[in-house]
Amino acid sequence: MDYTQQNYKAIKQMLDSIGVTSIDELFSDIPKDLRVKELNISNGQTEQELLNSFKGLALKNKISTTFRGAGIYDHYIPSLVWEVIGRSEFLTAYTPYQAEASQGTLQAIFEYQSLICALTGLDVANASLYDGSTSVAEAVVLSLRISGKNKILISSLLHPEYIQTVKTYLENSKAELVVLPQGANGAIERTVLEANIDDNTAAVVIQSPNYLGIIEDMQTLSAATKSKNVLFIAVVNPLSLGLFQAPGEYNADIAVGEGQVLGSPMAVGGSTFGFMAVKKSLEWKIPGRIVGQTTDKDSKRGFVLTLQSREQHIRREKATSNICTNASLNALAGCVFLAGWGDEGFVNLAKTNISKARYAFNKIKSLEGFKVKFENKTFFNEFVIETQKNIKKINKVLLKNNILGPLDLSNFNENLTNCLLFCVTEQRTKKEIDKLVELLAKI
Amino acid sequence: MEKLLNEMSSECKPAYSLNLDVECDYQIPENLKRNSNLGLPNIAESDLLRHFINLSRQNYALSTTFYPLGSCTMKYNPLINECIAKFNEFNSVHPYQAQESMQGILEIIYKLEKDLCEISGLDYFSLQPAAGAHGEFTGLLVISKYFKSIKQKRTKIIIPDSAHGTNPASATLAGFDIIPFKSDLDGSLSIEKLKEILTPEVAAVMLTVPNTLGVFEKSIIEISKIVHDNGSLLYYDGANLNAVMGIIRPGDIGFDVMHINLHKTFSTPHGGGGPGAGPVGVKAFLEPFLPVPRIELKKLKYILNYKKSKSIGKIKSFFGNFPVLLKAYIYIKSLGSVGLKNVSEQAVLNANYMLAKLKNIIDVPAGEKCMHEFVLSPKSVLKNSVKTLDVAKRLLDYGYYSPTVYFPAIVEEAIMIEPTETESKDTLDKFIEVLIKIILEESNKCPQKVKDAPVNTPVKRLNEVEAARNPVLKW
């Protein structure tokens, strides 16, 4: 099955108009000896056949009640989000270059930018980046470029795949990446940051909640960074900003993060979107598309892609980034998600996450063989528990009961052998948490 | 004019709500607590739905109109792809669940890689990159790491001036210096000029084939030989792969590395600017450098292999934009080998048909034949200082999205048209008629009408200068 339209008669007419006798003649510039004989690809299938075969493939994946997070989270996606991103007028439009014919996408991106600014407390947001990991990499590249310095301090408690991505992005640059070790309490300590910062430091990158779920003392870390005239890059979970300090409040220069929690399904880790918000002074330095408000000939409000002289299609090798296609549809989901809660509802969503996580935390830590790893630390919806029990066995038993258990942190670093990272979002019911606890108690 | 979300906000019951079935329990130390207002809008579900549906109706989209946007391959996006991509068994899988519990997903990624190898003639693909530019960057890092591994210092990339802007931007990000390659008027490359700039420092030459003027590079075999004799590699920008599926394979004609834009050639919807996917393919000698994890088949099980010591590492978290990969794979399975070749044949037929109808009226710098797209230069026929931009805007009034304009920069007043294979002769005929009418008739008889266009769109011509001079980037 293919989606071409021309029948024999139309093809004949078209060939006549062109002045050739066969379609093959249209390829006469390509030397015959370079031509492919036949592709070894299976025969085409009808829609019905496809549906059946892909149902079969889908069923080879297992869906469980998940208590695992570590960068990708099971959150509720309201029906409205699905409805809007399924609208073919959004789904099948291109990047909105022709503004007058793309006001839907442009206004939605403008609204998205405004909502990201509201959430982060910063001044300017771009139209999205690929995901959380690349948003951190872009922020690092930005800070190296504008500071002219070449050292980056990065938290060891930043998501390990984000650190790896940043390393890859910096592979051929002169930049030096210094990983700040974690303190005994599962967070980055001010003294460690201060011991590593110097005149050559371009930026400090701290994630909060960090990979272990702990809320970092961003106020203190940012102040220590800013006092040295170094850029502070905050990597944040946007849902946590309903309750926890916003990057703008602690004077961060750049806030980035993973937008999956705002209305995108887990989908084995992508597609999602990355967001970036910066202080006003950096608006001409930010990578990627930005939508701005303007007026039309009749002085009516409208929206266009703007500050384009930062971008690759204008500036080529001097652009602020190579990014072109980003993750617009996922950012649209983020916009629809953020628009429907109101302040109180959004704070309530954050409170629900933390309350359910604390409910599970209190129950699990009181079980025999399980104990709290980091005492008295504030967390959002993930926490670390140390256990003397066999972790493989724990997750095997849980999986038998259709539960995706906590992440085994043994391989993350040597301080976390026998440690588990639990995640409890608003999606988990009391009943599911009780069941988890009951199963853990029996192991 | 559709209100902004903040202007719609009222003291109503907001669209979404949650119940808490455990005790509300959160104590947050003062120094960690948010003190500032969020400032999110408060809008009821019905109003919010209307808002976004109204906005959607202000878009021209592939599902509503012909979208002859050159270089972007705006072909029909099959609905079955969307339908399958909504399956819960794809969407609700966590990236860190056990490999045994996501065999269906790994199988799709593995088999898509194999199909892309077959289509391209390259030996291995990484499906991790999230877009074309991301794929370019990945491919260039692979090239860089390869030369480091054989202890050669090669720091430069040759890029024709007709290339997409992402090429030089990606090469710079990957730490290379750019040597611009001035192409001839039809976009083709002179062997003599290439020899002059091909120094021992050149790591690779990046080419778009067919080039952005829609011309197949006739000297490609000679170029390939010269480049390889110099010890350099050849990179294929797959943006224009839609012209040559089942016709030629980049791997067969000497290319070592390429990326493919799945959101172009393989029909996945563009989403108003993503998500896309930019798989990167390489010849076997470059495989050790591809991003991790590699997805492999071992003892009838699909596994994630992270143990690749020469790999460039991770280019993004997890495995790539899976829903996009899935849709592209469904597309390949629906077309099969005959259908894929038919795609390129019909795409080239449609483009040549349009070109044949236009070439005697409007200048075509690249000559009388093309592959899947072509570039017009209407400078000599436009009257009364009407510009290409005006023509583009006037087309919107007739209900068409505009072709790509002012690209490639080597053509004055360029209009780049790519009809794709999924449009009917009737659609093409009507569009051609309108385009000729605007360029010949309206620019002559009523130029102000063209300069004032568009008037049938939700807003009239927007002031882009004002937007950049005094940026208003949020409410």
- The number of CA neighbours under 13 Å toward the Cβ of B35 is 8
Cβ within 8 Å, pair A161-B317: yes
- Nearest by CB to A298, from B172, B272, B460: name it: B460
* pLDDT tens-digit map of B385-438: 999 999 999 999 999 999 999 999 889 999 999 999 999 999 999 999 999 999
Instruction: Give A47's contacts in chain B (Cβ within 8 Å).
Output: 80, 334
Are the C-beta atoms of B132 and A325 separated by less than 8 Å?
yes
* pLDDT tens-digit map of A233-280: 999 999 999 999 999 999 999 999 999 999 999 999 999 999 999 999
Nearest partner of A182 among A408, A421, A415, judged by Cα: A415
Point out which residues pair with A370 in neighbouring strands. A387
Q: Which residue of B has its CA nearest to A127?
A: B273
pLDDT of residue A319: 86
Judge if A295 and A349 occupy the same domain: no
Residue B118: phi, psi to the nearest 5? -65, -45
Q: Is the pLDDT confidence value at A309 over 90?
A: no
pLDDT of residue A227: 97
pLDDT of residue A89: 98
If DSSP states are collapsed to H, E and C, what string results for chain B? CCCCHHHHCCCCCCCCCCCCCCCCCCCCCHHHECCCCCCCCCCCHHHHHHHHHHHHCCECCCCCCCCCECCCCCCCCCHHHHHHHCCHHHHCCCCCCCHHHEHHHHHHHHHHHHHHHHHHCCCEEECCCCCHHHHHHHHHHHHHHHHHHCCCCCCEEEEECCCCCHHHHHHHHCCCEEEEECCCCCCCCCHHHHHHHCCCCEEEEEEECCCCCCCCCCCHHHHHHHHHHCCCEEEEEHHHHHHCCCCCCCCCCCCCEEECCHHHHCCCCCCCCCCCCCCEEECHHHHHHCCCCEEEEECCEEEEECCCCCCCCCCCCCCCCHHHHHHHHHHHHHHHHHHHHHHHHHHHHHHHHHHHHHCCCCECCCCCCCCCCEEEEHHHCCCCCCCHHHHHHHHHHCCCCCCEECCCCCCCCCEEECCCCCCCHHHHHHHHHHHHHHHHHHHHHCHHHHHHCCCCCCCCCECHHHHHHCCCCCC
Q: Is the pLDDT confidence value at A411 over 90?
A: no
pLDDT of residue A351: 97
Interface test with B, best of A81, A92, A422 (most B CBs within 10 A): A92
Judge if A382 and A362 occupy the same domain: yes
Q: Does residue A50 lie within any of the structural domains?
A: no
Confidence class for position A148, pLDDT limits 50, 70, 90: very high
Residue B67: phi, psi to the nearest 5? -130, 70
Judge if A155 and A201 occupy the same domain: yes
Asked if A19 is an interface residue toward chain B (Cβ–Cβ < 8 A), one would say yes
Residue A425: phi, psi to the nearest 5? -105, -175
Judge if A272 and A368 occupy the same domain: no
Q: Is the pLDDT confidence value at B325 over 90?
A: yes
Instruction: Give A51's contacts in chain B (Cβ within 8 Å).
Output: 80, 83-84
> Would the ipTM clear 0.95, i.e. be above it?
yes
Residue B69: phi, psi to the nearest 5? -80, 100
Asked if A124 is an interface residue toward chain B (Cβ–Cβ < 8 A), one would say yes
Between CA A194 and CA A213 the distance in angstroms is 23
The domain boundary, picked from A288, A307, A339, lies at A339
Instruction: Give A162's contacts in chain B (Cβ within 8 Å).
Output: 317
Task: Determine the average pLDDT of the residues in A160-187.
Answer: 96
Judge if A259 and A199 occupy the same domain: yes
Q: How far is CA A104 from the centre of its chain?
A: 23
Point out which residues pair with A293 in neighbouring strands. A303
Q: What is the CATH number of the domain that holds A359?
A: 3.90.1150.10
Q: Does residue A217 lie within any of the structural domains?
A: yes
Between CA B420 and CA B407 the distance in angstroms is 18
Judge if A107 and A231 occupy the same domain: yes
Q: What is the CATH number of the domain that holds A241?
A: 3.40.640.10
Confidence class for position B184, pLDDT limits 50, 70, 90: confident
Interface test with A, best of B86, B247, B418, B473 (most A CBs within 10 A): B473
Domain ranges of chain B: 5-56, 80-334, 340-466
Cβ within 8 Å, pair B89-A58: yes
Q: How far is CA B230 from CA A152, A377, B175, B203, B227, in A?
A: 37, 60, 21, 9, 5
Are the C-beta atoms of A252 and B76 separated by less than 8 Å?
no
* pLDDT tens-digit map of A175-233: 999 999 999 999 999 999 999 999 999 999 999 999 999 999 999 999 999 999 999 99
On average, the pLDDT of chain A sits at 96
CATH number of B340-466: 3.90.1150.10
**Separation in Å, CA of A120 to nearest CA in chain B:** 9
Q: Does residue A42 lie within any of the structural domains?
A: no
* pLDDT tens-digit map of A422-438: 999 999 999 999 999 99
Q: Is the pLDDT confidence value at A414 over 90?
A: no
Q: Does residue A137 lie within any of the structural domains?
A: yes
Nearest partner of B130 among B304, B255, B314, B312, judged by Cα: B314
The edge-to-edge listing of strands for the beta sheet with B177-181 is B124-126, B280-282, B257-259, B233-237, B202-208, B156-160, B177-181
Instruction: Count Cβ atoms below 10 Å from residue B162 Cβ, excluding itself.
Output: 26
- Report percent pLDDT > 70 for chain B: 100
Task: Determine the Cα angle at A211 with ends A209 and A214, to 5°.
Answer: 40
Cβ within 8 Å, pair B459-A296: yes
**Separation in Å, CA of A411 to nearest CA in chain B:** 13
Asked if A150 is an interface residue toward chain B (Cβ–Cβ < 8 A), one would say no
Q: Does residue A27 lie within any of the structural domains?
A: no
Cβ within 8 Å, pair B104-A59: yes
Cβ within 8 Å, pair B275-A271: yes
The residue type of B164 is: H
Cβ within 8 Å, pair B215-A340: no
Judge if A269 and A150 occupy the same domain: yes
Please confirm whether the linkage preceding B269 is cis (ω < 30° from 0): no
pLDDT of residue A313: 86
Q: Is the pLDDT confidence value at B116 over 90?
A: yes
pLDDT of residue B170: 95
Q: Which residues contact B253 (CB under 8 A, 6 or more apart)?
A: A34, B121, B220, B221, B224
| Sequence-ordered alpha helix ranges (H) in A59-209 | 79-85, 88-91, 103-120, 132-147, 160-169, 190-196
**Separation in Å, CA of B375 to nearest CA in chain A:** 17
The domain boundary, picked from A316, A339, A362, lies at A339
> CB-based burial of residue A118 (10 Å sphere; 0-12 exposed, 13-18 middle, 19+ buried)?
buried
Judge if A154 and A186 occupy the same domain: yes
Q: Does residue A25 lie within any of the structural domains?
A: no
pLDDT of residue B188: 86
Judge if A356 and A322 occupy the same domain: no
Point out which residues pair with A387 in neighbouring strands. A370
Q: Does residue A40 lie within any of the structural domains?
A: no
Q: Does residue A13 lie within any of the structural domains?
A: no
Cβ within 8 Å, pair B94-A302: no
Judge if A247 and A380 occupy the same domain: no
Judge if A108 and A216 occupy the same domain: yes
Q: Is the pLDDT confidence value at B1 over 90?
A: no
Q: Which residue of A has its CA nearest to B114?
A: A41
Judge if A332 and A423 occupy the same domain: no
Specify the number of domains making up chain A.
2
Q: Is the pLDDT confidence value at B187 over 90?
A: no
| Sequence-ordered alpha helix ranges (H) in A94-173 | 103-120, 132-147, 160-169
Cβ within 8 Å, pair B333-A171: no
Q: Is the pLDDT confidence value at B171 over 90?
A: yes
Q: What is the DSSP letter of A292?
A: E
Task: Name the residue range of residue A389's domain.
Answer: 65-74+343-442
Instruction: Give A80's contacts in chain B (Cβ within 8 Å).
Output: 15-16, 45, 48-49, 52
pLDDT of residue A314: 82
**Separation in Å, CA of B200 to nearest CA in chain A:** 19
**Separation in Å, CA of A265 to nearest CA in chain B:** 6
On average, the pLDDT of chain B sits at 96
CATH number of B80-334: 3.40.640.10
